[in-house]
Amino acid sequence: MITAAEAVDLGMSAGEARGKLAAGLWIPHARGVYLSAEHQMTDMARLRIAVAATGGVVDRTAAAWLLGFLPDLPDIITLSIPRSAHGAAHGAVDTSCKRRSLPSEDVMATRGVPVTREALTLLQLASALAIDEAITIIDRAVQTERVLVHELRASLDRNSGAHGMRLARVLVAAAEDDSESEAERLFVRLLKQYRISGWVQQQWINGVRMDFVWPELGIVVSVHGWMFHRRYDRWDRDLRTANMLGLMGLLPLSFPWKRLRFEEESVVRELVAAIESRQSVD
């Protein structure tokens, strides 16, 4: 891909450029943006054409693809263009442009293309994707240290007034480990809202403190924060506890913050089904 400005920088005259167009050697894809007829329209070419045509910064789902968070480049290239821009050029590549001025700390160049940095890209996914998919991607990025939680917080603070950051704020707060206690509050609220009784909180069983227990039914519920399996030792301990409860004839259930926050109806269905199954045994 080449732009008219790049052709001039390479010493090519306007006549030579017109000659390549007339001969079909260059194919125009936007005003002053061309692709060599010898090259296929690859995903990277689509991205470069969109950037050249709009003068924008790749963001949201397109940035997630460029940075390796998503496997496929979306059909519509997402970009941010400056608020001062007079208008984005129309081209052969479909684009979705949002007018906003990005902090310099949140922009970098990847493969010669301006793109939002990892932290802001992940924050934008909270509103650009289904929440479950966004949480999975952010969780994986934090687990592998592609991005650190304090970097998410810093980027959120810099872009706090941007559209679509409401869910991002929720996710960052959860990533900062506020989600464990919130998960307990959410579960208690569900129990009261659906008038589910017979439970006690913080009960010890065989030397292990359990979050919620139905003593008469033998049901034990553990609730967890978002990133409760960040440490192997805790993951191993939780598995051992579940095995211990099962061997005692108890029914262990586990609900993470994500489900309590966004899938409360399915949580209640599972819990009610467990209660009914234990009642029928009695």
CATH number for 252? 3.40.960.10
Kindly state whether residues 75 and 139 are assigned to the same domain: yes
Residue 173: inside a domain, yes or no?
no
Residue 172: inside a domain, yes or no?
no
List the domain range (segments joined by +) for residue 234: 178-281
Q: Residue 282 has what pLDDT?
A: 60
Kindly state whether residues 101 and 151 are assigned to the same domain: yes
Kindly state whether residues 253 and 204 are assigned to the same domain: yes
Kindly state whether residues 87 and 21 are assigned to the same domain: no
Kindly state whether residues 77 and 121 are assigned to the same domain: yes
Residue 48: inside a domain, yes or no?
no
Domain boundary among 104, 130, 164: 164
- HEC letters along the chain: CEEHHHHHHCCCCHHHHHHHHHCCCEEEEECCEEEECCCCCCHHHHHHHHHHHHCCEECHHHHHHHCCCCCCCCCCEEEEECCCCCCCCCECCCEEEEECCCCHHHEEEECCEEEECHHHHHHHHHHHCCHHHHHHHHHHHHHCCCCCHHHHHHHHHHCCCCCCCHHHHHHHHHHHHHHHHHHHHHHHHHHHHCCCCCCEEEEEECCEEEEEEECCCCEEEEEECCCCCCCHHHHHHHHHHHHHHHHCCCEEEEEEHHHHHHCHHHHHHHHHHHHHHHHHHC
Q: Residue 216 has what pLDDT?
A: 95
Kindly state whether residues 86 and 144 are assigned to the same domain: yes
Q: Provide the residue-wise pLDDT of the chain in tens; the chain has 282 residues.
A: 777 787 778 888 777 877 877 787 777 777 778 878 888 888 998 999 899 888 899 999 999 999 999 999 999 999 999 877 665 556 778 999 999 999 999 999 999 999 999 999 999 999 999 888 998 899 889 888 899 999 999 999 999 888 889 999 988 988 886 667 888 999 999 999 999 999 999 999 999 999 999 999 999 999 988 765 556 677 788 889 999 999 999 999 999 998 999 999 999 999 999 999 999 876
Q: Residue 10 has what pLDDT?
A: 81
Kindly state whether residues 61 and 151 are assigned to the same domain: yes
Where do we find the tokens 């191993």? 236
Kindly state whether residues 155 and 207 are assigned to the same domain: no
| Total domains, the chain | 3
Kindly state whether residues 148 and 106 are assigned to the same domain: yes
Residue 59: inside a domain, yes or no?
yes
Residue 24: inside a domain, yes or no?
yes
Residue 170: inside a domain, yes or no?
no
Kindly state whether residues 183 and 271 are assigned to the same domain: yes
Residue 148: inside a domain, yes or no?
yes
Residue 49: inside a domain, yes or no?
no
Kindly state whether residues 190 and 160 are assigned to the same domain: no
Kindly state whether residues 105 and 157 are assigned to the same domain: yes
